[in-house]
Structure 1
């Protein structure tokens, strides 16, 4: 009865268009009223307690790093360096798009930030050189999904907080899948570009390659600075995020000098809006997850799954299908906050490693960023490129196929995820 009220209230409030945090908190309130013997004051208490975590502070800092780097002209330098590296390949500018997203994603940790920054440069440039609008938009949106899997990743940080596992090991586990995804996009881009005879760039001289590498080096080394500090125990993930902010300010103000002091209030304001939106969703979702725990939903889900199968291969398949479907209709972070507290207790009973599962879940939900009806990155890229969403969705199908192939490989070959954490962890 209580579970029906909880789910029914959530669906109803979502249908009438209330903000997601209000939907989650309202559904939790309705369920507590139905239970009857718990004080309603527990909701605001859990609302605050859910995000009262030191590790959560890393998320605002990394969001701020992305904003600073974007303002500091880093995107332009990364595109120039990527052009020197892969421009001579078939579909040169399209290859530059993919490599730029891999570099930029490793700095911002956000797919939407990658789509906005890289897309604003690459989409007009590619269309000007004769690339079709739907292909350009689809490639930009899909390649941006490398960002949340290549460290530092805001989504992996969130998983680490929920699952209470090492964020450093999650970061290390994301490298191989992220690089595999980027290389897969490059292969698909090569095939399409050869068929459509898209243009290539002349091979740069060594001096030009060196010049662009030096120009982009300050930004490119930031992810390695973060990972190195974590591996050697110099700082925690939250402290690493703060160090990254200081580093980004330094290169923006004193090295590249494209970042103006007068822009800092606007950057802080924009970051505060994004942080506020994310944290209210997180707080509401954690209250919702707490109510699910009270109603013993994780135990019921475990019983249902084990009644179907106890084979880890089958269970991983079921969970992948679940997250793929959910990702089509719900933003990745909200989906994780709601579903993971229900699913995580099952993992030890079937021998699924939480680090491996975390990377698989985050990778899985990235597909939802480019699949309608939500498809945040695809929608954003389509608006930048002024391309109808249905045309962009069709053009994205080959790249979604690449995502699904890599997802299958990392799901059933755990070593692809766990090798690097085992080597360096």
Structure 2
């Protein structure tokens, strides 16, 4: 997930771009920010109003979901546009630091041109899709669906325009010209070779959905565009299916009603950072446990466990907890490398703690109960927390406790009083969703209102200018994430339609060892995907393929979900490729190669 920290991919190879230092938004793009924020507020307001009417009056607003869905699609596409300008689309930079300064502009230009190829390739079909939707009306409002579907071509056109501006503004003309020439040669070569390649059948899969995607990832093309390019090339040159179908898959992948909670939980994470609610939790735990050996390690793990229940974001969790604890941990003699290891493993543990956005997306992609995932995720996180606490105590056996004193009860009581409103929130979220009282989407809006009120009354409030910036940040971060989900859904559909899923099912069925071998294979697959792709795209890409296989082997959905999420998180935090590991190093200001 994206977060609110500054990253430097050149200094930390393998890191995903999260929020690099960015220039001021151009004046002409300001209206896009305002419209995206308005749609986010309409979406959130409709969900909250529907919650109120449902539980107070017993009569939900029948057209609320339609308005929320329309606003959500526009917010997502305009947010993806803003993420282009702000360089917030997630990408891998494993190989970029190895490229000399002379050639790096050419690689950056080629990356931008490849993005243009994708956007230009789907633009006609996106316009056609919006036109075809004009013949369909919504059931409650009887509204032509073109009002919603128009978000797709609008976002594609604006993104293409911004990529062109970036190429002409930030890169040498000769680099852009060379990149255009190379791209034209490659597209022309694929077109000429397509009859021969089409005869290869499913051997096209490793070429288009394997080689092209991974080459683009290595060149630093944003993950969403890597998936989109591979799928577009496969459909165009290796099949007879129209690109129009791909647009429908992108729409479907981005617009599930379950995903409406994603931007709202992202906004909740912004509130957590701005109000200091996470720091209040850290302060209370430090006063309670800081005097015991390994106490600050316990605080770090406990804070990650609790804070994740508010923000739903690993990056936000680590950025909130680490700066408050690392100075004292260093004073007690903890090695920086061990501190980073504990931070990374703790964040991996916390990703199953509700309201984990990963669990919400998994529930949407695989059709698994969100309440069941939240309940199981909490239990799994508790087990991992206990194991990590035991390991932390063993590693701290030589920790220096000189000068450490137990905090007076008055201090503990005072920090508890300050932290109590924040401590209540994660347990409310889990109780409401796990108990079936409300959906994850409904709970997210209630949690935002609660956090805003508590933040204003107890934690100093949020200035209007800051609140506006948080809303824009939410739209941009959510748009970047949701575009990945859309293109990953299209790629997953292509894999399924190609017969890959059926072939994989046959192989798995004949594996010696049955379901146990399948589980080991799944762990290996998601470990690797977690390293390379980060969590959300890996889940959306593979869940539609892997879950039917697991069900056929008699594996329970919740059981399988926990296995692959934990495996994926371990991969994401595992060096030398795991992107979460580099994020932890950046937050802790520790070089990745330090012993």
What TM-score bracket applies, with the shorter chain setting the length? 0.7 to 0.9
Q: Does 1:3 align with 2:205?
A: yes
Q: Which gives a bigger RCO, structure 1 or 2 (Cα 8 Å, sep 6+)?
A: 1
Residue 568 of structure 2 is matched in structure 1 by 365
Does structure 1 residue 261 correspond to structure 2 residue 464? yes
Residues 1:16 and 1:377: Cα distance change in structure 2 (over 3 Å):
closer
| 1:128/1:289 CA distance change after superposition, 3 Å | same
1:73 matched residue in structure 2: 276
How far, CA to CA, are the matches of 1:353 and 1:269 in structure 2?
40
Partner of 1:379: 582
* CA RMSD, 1 decimal: 1.9
* 3-state SS of 1:194 partner: coil
Which region of structure 1 is more displaced relative to structure 2, 363-372 or 195-204? 195-204
Write the distance in 1 (CA, Å) between the matches of 2:328 and 2:317. 16
1:312–1:253 CA distance, 2 compared to 1 (3 A):
same
Moved more, 242-251 or 367-376: 367-376
Match of 1:284 in 2: 487
Distance 2:404 2:381 in 1: 26
Partner of 1:345: 548
Q: Which moved more, 1:289-298 or 1:192-201?
A: 192-201
Q: Is the 8 A contact 1:324 1:364 kept in 2?
A: yes
Task: Tell me the residue number matched to 1:308.
Answer: 511
State the partner residue of 1:49.
252
Q: Who is 1:24 aligned against?
A: 227
Question: Which shifted more, 35-44 or 294-303?
Answer: 35-44
Q: Does 1:192 align with 2:372?
A: no
User: 1:142-157, aligned counterparts within 5 Å?
Assistant: 142-157=345-360
Residue 323 of structure 2 corresponds to 120
Are the equivalent residues in 1 in contact too, given 2:254–2:483 (CA < 8 A)?
no
* Pairs within 5 Å for 1:32-111: 32-111=235-314
2:267 & 2:459 partners in 1: Cα distance?
A: 18
Structure 1 contact 14–20 (Cα < 8 Å) conserved: yes
1:176 partner SS? helix
User: For residues 232 and 98 of structure 1, what CA distance do their matches in structure 2 show?
Assistant: 26
Please state how far the C-alpha of 1:146 moved relative to its aligned partner: 2.8
Residue matched to 1:236: 439
Aligned residues: 392
Aligned counterpart, 1:167: 370
Distance 2:586 2:212 in 1: 33
Give yes or no for contact 2:265–2:444 (8 Å, CA) kept in 1: yes
Instruction: Measure the CA separation in 1 of the matches of 2:205 and 2:581.
Output: 34
Moved more, 190-199 or 53-62: 190-199
Residue in 2 aligned with 1:215? Answer: 418
TM, length-normalised to structure 1: 0.87
Tell me the residue number matched to 1:412. none
C-alpha offsets along residues 119-162 of structure 1, whole Å, 9 cap, x if unaligned? 22222332244322212222222222232111111111111001
Alpha-carbon distance in structure 1 between the residues aligned to 2:301 and 2:239: 54
Q: CA deviation at 1:340?
A: 1.4
Identify if the C-alpha distance between structure 1 residues 17 and 204 changes in structure 2 by more than 3 Å, giving closer, same or farther.
closer
Select between 375-384 and 101-110 the one with higher mean Cα deviation: 375-384
Q: Is the 1:108–1:114 Cα contact (8 Å) retained in structure 2?
A: yes
Structure with max Cα Rg:
2
- Cα deviations across residues 390-411 of structure 1 (Å, max 9, x unaligned)? 22xx6xxxxxxxxxxxxxxxxx
Structure 1 distance, partners of 2:385, 2:324, is 19
Shift of 1:79: 1.2
Return 5+ residue gaps in structure 2 as ranges. Answer: 1-200
Report the secondary structure of 1:351's partner residue. Answer: coil
- The alignment partner of 1:390 has SS state of coil
CA offsets per residue over residues 47-81 of structure 1, 9 Å max, x none? 11221111111111111111101111112211111
Q: Are the aligned partners of 2:374 and 2:434 in contact in 1 as well (CA < 8 Å)?
A: no
Partner of 1:321: 524
What corresponds to 2:177 in structure 1? none
> Which segments of structure 1 move beyond 6 Å, counting only runs of 4 or more?
none
